[in-house]
């Protein structure tokens, strides 16, 4: 593996629920090398999604430090985190989270609205991203006109269109049948192997995790690792 893309050092995340103090992550240390395809598994409530949120700058740790691509996320303002996310991270969700009023092409183009690209350039890049995920011919379709697998491909295209180094996938196959799930996982593998994307994928599904190069188990806010590749 090459140098580290992300480092979590002594990261804790505590939520206050009423008078109760819930510690979701406990002094967690993790290094994610550049080009890694990491699957994170664990039971519900173990802190998987919280870990993903911290890596993506959607949440801030209660203690410790999160560094991604040399940027210390824990010390950034919300506005700085927004700018950072728009250029460094792509997100893929379990339920795709496409905007139903926009076509596939316009959904993919969304992150590029935050750039200075011209409308033509944005459309060109969105078409290329759709082509990578094999959906160029569905560019003008609304999400409601696509299958679940196609929607997830569009979501992946949206995640890669701004060419981020890190892809964060939260249960990307959780809403898909086995065959479609395998297609999505193979696509993620291609993005990892051929396009050099570092991928962190949260999943419940051991078969999905097998597509990763490394699997980490999270339980009660702590990590245990098992190498796959």
The span from the CA of 192 to the CA of 167, in Å, is 9
Cα-to-chain-centroid distance, residue 181: 16
The span from the CA of 132 to the CA of 187, in Å, is 9
Check binding of 48 to another protein (CB under 8 A). Answer: no
Check binding of 153 to another protein (CB under 8 A). Answer: no
Which one of the spans 92-100, 181-189, 192-200, 209-217 is the region binding another protein (CB under 8 A)?
92-100
The span from the CA of 30 to the CA of 21, in Å, is 24
The span from the CA of 27 to the CA of 63, in Å, is 8
Check binding of 71 to another protein (CB under 8 A). Answer: no
Please pick, from the candidates 106, 125, 153, 214, the single residue that binds another protein as defined by CB under 8 A: 106
Check binding of 56 to another protein (CB under 8 A). Answer: yes
CB of 213 to another protein, least distance (A): 25
Q: For residues 45 and 196, which CB has a smaller minimum distance to another protein in the complex?
A: 45
* Alpha helix segments (H runs only) across 165-205: 178-193
CB of 56 to another protein, least distance (A): 8
Check binding of 22 to another protein (CB under 8 A). Answer: no
Distant-in-sequence contacts of 70-79, Cβ < 8 A, 24+ apart: none
Please pick, from the candidates 1, 22, 114, 190, the single residue that binds another protein as defined by CB under 8 A: 114
The span from the CA of 98 to the CA of 154, in Å, is 8
Check binding of 101 to another protein (CB under 8 A). Answer: yes
The span from the CA of 125 to the CA of 38, in Å, is 27
Check binding of 93 to another protein (CB under 8 A). Answer: yes
Taking the alpha carbons at both ends of the chain, their separation in whole angstroms is 12
Q: For residues 14 and 58, which CB has a smaller minimum distance to another protein in the complex?
A: 58
Find out whether 208 and 201 touch, Cβ atoms under 8 Å.
yes
Which one of the spans 25-33, 109-117, 124-132, 144-152 is the region binding another protein (CB under 8 A)?
109-117
Check binding of 53 to another protein (CB under 8 A). Answer: yes
Q: For residues 35 and 204, which CB has a smaller minimum distance to another protein in the complex?
A: 204
The span from the CA of 122 to the CA of 158, in Å, is 12
Find out whether 195 and 117 touch, Cβ atoms under 8 Å.
no
Contact footprint for another protein (CB under 8 A): 49, 53, 56, 58-59, 78-79, 82-87, 91, 93, 95, 97, 99-102, 106, 110-111, 113-114, 119, 158
């Amino acid at each position: 593996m090459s140098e580290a893309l992300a480092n979590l050092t002594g990261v804790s995340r505590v939520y206050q629920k009423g008078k109760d103090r819930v510690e979701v992550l406990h002094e967690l240390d993790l290094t994610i090398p550049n080009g890694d395809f990491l699957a994170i598994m664990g039971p519900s409530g173990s802190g998987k999604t919280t870990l993903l949120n911290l890596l993506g700058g959607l949440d801030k740790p209660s203690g410790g430090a999160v560094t991604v691509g040399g940027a210390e996320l824990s010390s950034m303002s919300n506005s700085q985190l927004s700018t950072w996310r728009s250029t460094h991270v792509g997100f893929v969700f379990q339920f795709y989270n496409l905007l139903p009023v926009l076509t596939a092409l316009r959904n993919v183009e969304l992150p590029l609205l935050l750039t200075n690209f011209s409308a033509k350039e944005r459309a060109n890049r969105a078409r290329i991203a759709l082509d990578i995920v094999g959906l160029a011919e569905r560019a003008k379709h609304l999400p409601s006109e696509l299958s679940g697998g196609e929607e997830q491909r569009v979501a992946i295209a949206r995640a890669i269109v701004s060419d981020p180094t890190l892809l964060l996938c939260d249960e990307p196959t959780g809403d898909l049948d086995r065959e479609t799930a395998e297609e999505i996982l193979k696509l993620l593998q291609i993005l990892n192997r051929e396009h050099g994307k570092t991928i962190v994928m949260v999943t419940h599904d051991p078969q999905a995790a097998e597509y990763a190069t490394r699997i980490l188990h999270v339980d009660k806010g702590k990590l245990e690792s098992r190498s796959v590749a």
